[in-house]
Chain A
Amino acid sequence: MSDPDIAMIQAAAEALNTTDARINTFLDNVDADVLAAINEAQTELGHRQSAYDILASNLFGVVGTALSQSITWNPDATEVSLTNGGTASTWGDVTNWASALPFGSEVSVELMPGKIYDFTASSFPSNIAKFRIWNSDNANRPTLRPTVTINAANKNYVNHIHIGFHRIIFSRVNIEFVAADDSLAWDQNEFLRCVDGPCHVLLTSVGLSGGAPNLIADNASTPIILTVSQCGSSGPNFLKRKSNWAIVSDHNSVFTNGALLVSGYTLGSNFLEN
């Protein structure tokens, strides 16, 4: 062979060697990348498995925490944190927070001792099964004051909230109905109107005051169960009949100024009591 032929063969061999080296490098890189991807996937899978194991071994705890949340309602709060254990400053905050929770949740709303809460809103979260509004200091109870306006009949009208299929607990709080105009009569209104389904309202260490007619009323298709313990009223009735039936239990109750535990019911016909 001539020199040029040998040179061509050598060049071709060199090119083949270079290509082979590149292919080997490429394949090595591919192997490394694949291995890294597999390792990463296995690590991620391990993390997910661990997370799942933790969830599976404590499913009740996880669900329980998700369904049982609390918040503090401080009308003077400057920073609002609508999370479990956080702080709300208005009833609107409370309802926004509670409405985002899973259906059937139980929530606890702690009020600040001695504070006045002007209750301006009229909404109530329908997704909450058990709604507890409470305060830790019985000797220094906060006061909820439902807003009262003057209605078309020129009477004081209680800004009420609709409840249904709920268990609502008030504990160690006072509820005061302040007339919008003292010279006007009260309309037949109430603060809690049970309209969307049967309700169970539990009151412990609750004092009612002011001239408003009633705290609670049933409705056409909504009977009510009322449990009252260590409560009193100096004016409003606890429960008024509109058109349904009620079961009422009370213990250590005191009434003045003609206040009643129930109004408008007939014992044995649409009303049972202890």
Chain B
Amino acid sequence: MLNIDLGPDGPVYRNADPQWLQEQGVSASVIGAALKSSARNQVAKVANDYRARVSSTSAGKLAAYKIKEEIARSLETADSDELALIDREATARGQSRDELISVISKKAQAFRKIALLVEVIEAETNASLSAISDSDPDIEAKIANIFEAAKFEADTEFDAAVALIQGI
């Protein structure tokens, strides 16, 4: 549903269907622009949902994970006290240090990939939306197709990343 504000002297439409707006005499290009604006908001919302799913719900947990990832990436220069703590965690989990570091590295790789992919899909989807003319008679169908393709790619990649993370 669309929200359109046609300026200080014009009407404000709220939660309106495109068909109803057309019946009210709103021009096709205004409706098209509103559809694209609504679609961009939707893209941003979906992208943020994916980001939220990638990130831990706990900021503290995420910070701890980033510290471990940093240690895993530069074992040679890591602080010996920190490595000792990594060893304690590995022991508690029934793993060797190398095994725990490997898990951390692979998870980090999967997280980075999906985070970057969300950025790419968001940018590409917005670019595709911008490419549609405001007065395109098939604008609703084209926006729906763009959404569907973007969602399919995002879901596929996200599921693959989750499978990788959970399988580690």
Residues of B within 8 A of A252 (CB): 13, 15-17, 20
Residues of A within 8 A of B20 (CB): 230, 252
B11: CB under 8 A from chain A?
Answer: yes
Interface centre among A253, A254, A274 (most CB of B within 10 A): A254
Binding site for B on A (CB under 8 A): 230, 232, 250-256, 261, 274
Beta-carbon nearest neighbor of B17 in chain A: A252
B1: CB under 8 A from chain A?
Answer: yes
Beta-carbon nearest neighbor of A261 in chain B: B14
B24: CB under 8 A from chain A?
Answer: yes
Contact A255 B12 (CB under 8 A): yes
User: Taking the nearest CB of chain B, how far is it from the CB of A200, in angstroms?
Assistant: 19
Residues facing A in B34-69 (CB within 8 A) are none
Residues of B within 8 A of A232 (CB): 11
Count of chain B residues with a beta carbon within 8 Å of a chain A beta carbon: 11
22 contacts between A and B (CB under 8 A): A232-B11, A250-B14, A250-B15, A251-B16, A252-B13, A252-B15, A252-B20, A253-B13, A253-B14, A253-B15, A254-B12, A254-B13, A254-B14, A254-B16, A254-B24, A255-B11, A255-B13, A255-B14, A256-B10, A256-B12, A261-B14, A274-B15
User: Taking the nearest CB of chain B, how far is it from the CB of A208, in angstroms?
Assistant: 13
User: Taking the nearest CB of chain A, how far is it from the CB of B113, in angstroms?
Assistant: 35
Excluding A252-B13, A253-B16, A256-B10, 5 further A-B contacts by CB distance (< 8 Å) are A250-B15, A251-B16, A251-B17, A252-B15, A255-B14
Residues of B within 8 A of A253 (CB): 13-16
Question: Given the complex of chains A and B, what is the CA–CA distance between A253 and B13 in angstroms?
Answer: 6
Residues of B within 8 A of A254 (CB): 11-14, 16, 24
Against A, the Cβ 8 Å flags (1 = close, 0 = not) of B1-38 are: 10000000011111111001000100000000000000
Question: Given the complex of chains A and B, what is the CA–CA distance between A250 and B13 in angstroms?
Answer: 10
Residues of B within 8 A of A230 (CB): 20
User: Taking the nearest CB of chain A, how far is it from the CB of B137, in angstroms?
Assistant: 21
Interface centre among A250, A253, A261, A274 (most CB of B within 10 A): A253
Question: Given the complex of chains A and B, what is the CA–CA distance between A223 and B147 in angstroms?
Answer: 39
Question: Given the complex of chains A and B, what is the CA–CA distance between A74 and B98 in angstroms?
Answer: 88
Beta-carbon nearest neighbor of B19 in chain A: A252
Residues of A within 8 A of B12 (CB): 254-256
Beta-carbon nearest neighbor of A255 in chain B: B12
User: Taking the nearest CB of chain B, how far is it from the CB of A184, in angstroms?
Assistant: 25
Interface centre among A232, A252, A253, A274 (most CB of B within 10 A): A252
Question: Given the complex of chains A and B, what is the CA–CA distance between A252 and B4 in angstroms?
Answer: 11
Question: Given the complex of chains A and B, what is the CA–CA distance between A232 and B15 in angstroms?
Answer: 12
Question: Given the complex of chains A and B, what is the CA–CA distance between A252 and B10 in angstroms?
Answer: 16
Residues of B within 8 A of A251 (CB): 1, 15-17
Beta-carbon nearest neighbor of A260 in chain B: B12
Question: Given the complex of chains A and B, what is the CA–CA distance between A151 and B121 in angstroms?
Answer: 62
Residues of A within 8 A of B15 (CB): 250-253, 274
User: Taking the nearest CB of chain B, how far is it from the CB of A142, in angstroms?
Assistant: 22
Beta-carbon nearest neighbor of B5 in chain A: A255
Residues facing A in B149-165 (CB within 8 A) are none
Smallest CB-CB A-B distances: 8 pairs: A253-B14, A255-B12, A252-B20, A256-B11, A254-B11, A252-B16, A251-B15, A254-B13
User: Taking the nearest CB of chain A, how far is it from the CB of B35, in angstroms?
Assistant: 15
Question: Given the complex of chains A and B, what is the CA–CA distance between A251 and B19 in angstroms?
Answer: 12
Residues of A within 8 A of B11 (CB): 232, 254-256
Question: Given the complex of chains A and B, what is the CA–CA distance between A230 and B11 in angstroms?
Answer: 14
Beta-carbon nearest neighbor of A231 in chain B: B14
Residues of B within 8 A of A250 (CB): 14-15
Question: Given the complex of chains A and B, what is the CA–CA distance between A256 and B14 in angstroms?
Answer: 12
Question: Given the complex of chains A and B, what is the CA–CA distance between A252 and B24 in angstroms?
Answer: 10
Residues of A within 8 A of B10 (CB): 256
Question: Given the complex of chains A and B, what is the CA–CA distance between A256 and B15 in angstroms?
Answer: 15
